[in-house]
Structure 1
Amino acid sequence: MSSQSLIELIREKSNAQSLQGQSSHPSISHKDIENLSAHTLVKYREIEIMALENNIIPERYVRNLNTFSAGDQIRLLKSSVCVVGLGGLGGIVVEILSRTGIGKLKFIDGDVFEESNLNRQFISTSETIGFSKAREAENRVHKINPSIETQCFDSFLNKDNAQDLLTGTDVVVDCLDNLKTRFLIEQECKSLNIPLVFGAVAGHQGQVMTIFPEDEGLAKIYGHEGALPEKGIELQLGALASCVSVIASMECTEVIKILLKKGNVLRNRLLLVNLWESVFEVIAL
């Protein structure tokens, strides 16, 4: 089927929709995109992109309008993000990015869910204890947004596989609790010229920063890598679900700003969050 014929089918399936305070615009439903994909053998995401290119908004993205343009949504659908660590931060990051419409997501985590994860790790349930975090994250994404292309690596990132696993993504999101692996990710991202979004939580406090390849990055926060313990202070202070959610949301916002080249990213600046004191502070590094 030609592209023009498919566009005509998309137009036939579209319908006018208006939201409160917004003008009417044509949109197309998930079911219609799914049926068109099955009928034409064109990928779901490609149909979404074609619709957006013709100012027809997939209904799942209608509430993104006015914050994102149709062009912005296309850019997100054509983007690739790698999430390293699918626990507390990573599970929420995956949830938000899949609902936002990031076209390709890569998951890296060799761990399985434990009962102690249930307080803050949104993908964990009583039924997923003992199951792979990466696989369950992938399953969750497919249920939320069938247009997303996923790659799942049920393994821990290390010096031997880091370059291969991180290659080919536009942004990497660090959702780990292992300081030495954090420095390894930063090193590989710099080598591959990939921006890195870093986030960490300890108790009711958290921090977020975006690191570009030419930035000094984590050394500004933690000092020299050789003096680091393997785990941070979160083992002593725990991690509250509310704080994990805030930091993960900020990480996702950084990812979106990088991909769309909009807003003021937290580059060479560290966001410090203290929920007990209701304080959000940005410090220059």
Structure 2
Amino acid sequence: MPSLEEFIREHADGDLVPWRSQVEAAGRFSLTLAEAEGTILKMGLLPARYQRNRQMLTIDQQLRLFRSTVAVIGCGGLGGYIIEELARLGVGTIIAIDPDTFVEHNLNRQLFSSLRLLGQAKVEAAAARIAEINPAVTLIPLREAFTRDNGQELLRYAHVAVDALDSVSARLELADVCDALNIPFVHGAIGGWYGQVLTQLPGERTLEKLYAGREDGTGIEKRLGNPSFTPAVIASMEVAETCKILLGLGRQRKGRKLTINLLDMDVEEIFI
């Protein structure tokens, strides 16, 4: 009987391993799909689902993404897109944190919502969706509200935290917890046609400067609402920032806020 590595090499197409072979390897050698994916990447091969990543990411970088853990705080308008894009990118473990269930007004923009799922916990829907699109990714659903008191426990295994919250106070608590844990924090906020993105690295206190004097305010989404497209745009930018942080690539938005006006198609960079 061939070893696991021999089996994988025999069933590879060049350096690509088809999904059916990954599933067969997991079943034959009593592995999880995640364990099979890790072995494939460690062998210098690439699960075929990621072949369109290969012009911008090396196999070693894909392995680093697989070994990474990202916490997404909020599974609504921003969070749904963030979670799905991280899973499709190949981030190995995603911690999804949200206490809420789907209600009817979520249907215009929240990726995981549907009529059938009204009343279901958002983190449960997230777990089901990721199991469907990339079951080699481990999604940890935590149905609870993020607070300063429980934050360090919820984020203790995360390499990066991504903001998909909807209030200033909750975001500031998240930023404080990330600073205490010495992990980067990617912030995004949306409202109507508008959005913003920034990255806070440990010790910077960027979000505190951004929201000085507005600590008790709500996010602008409560006043301006949100259409279907704004969350998708800002979430994608947050995922790009997260990918860069995990891989040490490019220039992060350190001390810089990017504001996006989709009505006029204007982008402005503000230094904080």
Q: What TM-score do the two structures reach when normalised by structure 2?
A: 0.96
Q: By how many angstroms is 1:41 displaced? A: 1.4
Identity of aligned residues (%): 37
Q: Deviations over 1:179-205 (max 9, x none)?
A: 111111111110011100000001000
Q: Does 1:228 align with 2:216?
A: yes
**1:11 matched residue in structure 2:** 9
Q: Does 1:63 align with 2:48?
A: no
Aligned positions of 1:27-176 closer than 5 A: 27-176=16-165
2:85 and 2:239 in contact (8 A); partners too: yes
Q: By how many angstroms is 1:28 displaced? A: 1.1
- Structure 1 segments of 4+ aligned residues over 6 angstroms from their partners: none
Q: What is the alpha-carbon distance in structure 2 between the residues aligned to residue 103 and residue 206 of structure 1?
A: 28
2:44 and 2:60 in contact (8 A); partners too: no
Q: What is the alpha-carbon distance in structure 2 between the residues aligned to residue 280 and residue 113 of structure 1?
A: 32
The amino acid across from 1:228 in the alignment is: D
Q: By how many angstroms is 1:236 displaced? A: 1.5
Give unmatched runs, 5+ long, in structure 1. Answer: 17-25
Q: What is the alpha-carbon distance in structure 1 between the residues aligned to residue 103 and residue 85 of structure 2?
A: 23
CA-atom RMSD, angstroms?
Answer: 1.4
Give unmatched runs, 5+ long, in structure 2. Answer: none
Q: Deviations over 1:139-177 (max 9, x none)?
A: 111111111112111111123311110111100001000
2:16 and 2:47 in contact (8 A); partners too: yes
Q: What is the alpha-carbon distance in structure 1 between the residues aligned to residue 39 and residue 25 of structure 2?
A: 12
**1:217 matched residue in structure 2:** 206
Q: By how many angstroms is 1:220 displaced? A: 2.1
Q: What is the alpha-carbon distance in structure 2 between the residues aligned to residue 254 and residue 118 of structure 1?
A: 27
The amino acid across from 1:263 in the alignment is: G
The amino acid across from 1:82 in the alignment is: A
**1:282 matched residue in structure 2:** 269
The amino acid across from 1:248 in the alignment is: A
The amino acid across from 2:187 in the alignment is: F
Q: By how many angstroms is 1:221 displaced? A: 1.5
The amino acid across from 1:118 in the alignment is: L
> Secondary structure at 1:254's aligned position in 2?
helix
**How many residues are matched?**
272
Q: Deviations over 1:37-60 (max 9, x none)?
A: 111012322322322233322111
